[in-house]
Structure 1
């Protein structure tokens, strides 16, 4: 495993933890570059259904490790290479069929917020802070990450984030749609794990199919294509559909078999 994070398994949930608490879990180039491999490992493991991302200690992540920038981003070629690693990490998380959940404490800023926005769900502790700060560094934000932010919070709030670089509270982040929910700090872990457990007992054929369709819609697709029709057809003829209907009619919890 790459220095800076740790991947563990808890039943059907994989947990990716940023492990640089002394640096507020700042994300290094090596960490960005390794995220696609982590995603691929989780996607390929039939025993895993959910990826949960969090940070060790008091913070989720304060963003990219800017101390690397003088060495890695001082030339156009270096900046392009660095950005390619970031874009690859975002693309990998975005394209996951298995759902991803960000569990956030403390600072979730810059690249840390970028990672959380690429996840399917975001839950935070009261007292957390959020911001995206390219305007403080003279950077123009990644296109796909900008699109994801706009799809979550709308253009007005996205402009506030990106153009001002100001931080907002968890309560405000929930209000504008950046977060799914906010919990007291002592309840965050249990509440997030309970939600992940809920995802694990739902139809994985439904979850992964709908996740792909939503990705297409966010990317701008307006009408169904052959892939969408195939996803829906496969679900209709799959074992989960038969089990779901049978369980409903028999008034029992479904026992979905698709993995």
Structure 2
């Protein structure tokens, strides 16, 4: 099973769990973490013993707090790097949205930006009382692609999507 120090994959009985393991940064996701997430999802999709996949964040304070902006200088330094980054994130979102098995976002604490995109792409979302949601892309000068917007509209409707954005 594919795991890295920042992206953990576990399997217990028939449940595959993907853990965003960057608690010092509220599970902010780097380009390498997006790549690892895609590989983990591919492994879970191909594993006949896995019947459901749960996404969660390590540390209990955050599900995923979005992109790791401390890495933007390196990971998004050129137009090509931005294109590659955006393609990778959309590939993971699309993989989740079209996943052949049920997917569940187990949200504790912050669910911001890309974390909200991950949660919307899952089939079900369960939150604790500490869950907090935000989408600060516009404040960071970042756009949101059509496929992501469509997932939001499909899941929560146009009015709620406008409120979030």
Name the TM-score class by shorter chain: over 0.9
Q: Which has the higher contact order (CA 8 A, sep 6+)?
A: 2
* 2:15 is equivalent to residue 22 of structure 1: no
Identify the residue that residue 9 of structure 1 maps to in structure 2: 11
1:34 to 20, 31, 36: 36
Q: CA deviation at 1:86?
A: 0.5
Q: Deviations over 1:104-157 (max 9, x none)?
A: 000000011111111110000012100111111111102211100011111121
Instruction: Give the secondary-structure state (helix, strand or coil) at the position aligned to 2:64.
Output: coil
Identify the residue that residue 119 of structure 1 maps to in structure 2: 122
Alpha-carbon distance between aligned partners in 2 of 1:138 and 1:160, rounded to the nearest angstrom? 18
2:56 to 54, 59, 66: 54
Identify the residue that residue 138 of structure 2 maps to in structure 1: 135
Q: CA deviation at 1:74?
A: 2.8
Q: Deviations over 1:213-232 (max 9, x none)?
A: xxxxxxxxxxxxxxxxxxxx
Question: TM-score scaled by structure 1?
Answer: 0.61
Instruction: Give the secondary-structure state (helix, strand or coil) at the position aligned to 1:15.
Output: strand
Identify the residue that residue 100 of structure 2 maps to in structure 1: 97
Alpha-carbon distance between aligned partners in 2 of 1:152 and 1:105, rounded to the nearest angstrom? 20
The structure that is helix-richer by fraction is 1
Residue segments in structure 1 that go unaligned for 5+ positions in a row: 163-259
- 1:1-259 correspondence runs (5 A): 1-57=3-59, 58-162=61-165
Q: Deviations over 1:153-197 (max 9, x none)?
A: 1112111211xxxxxxxxxxxxxxxxxxxxxxxxxxxxxxxxxxx
**Structure whose alpha-carbon radius of gyration is higher:** 1
Q: CA deviation at 1:89?
A: 0.8
Q: CA deviation at 1:48?
A: 0.9
Q: Is the 8 A contact 1:101 1:119 kept in 2?
A: yes
**Which 4+ runs in 1 deviate beyond 4 A?**
none
Question: TM-score scaled by structure 2?
Answer: 0.94
Q: CA deviation at 1:39?
A: 1.1
**Number of aligned residue pairs:** 162
The structure that is strand-richer by fraction is 2
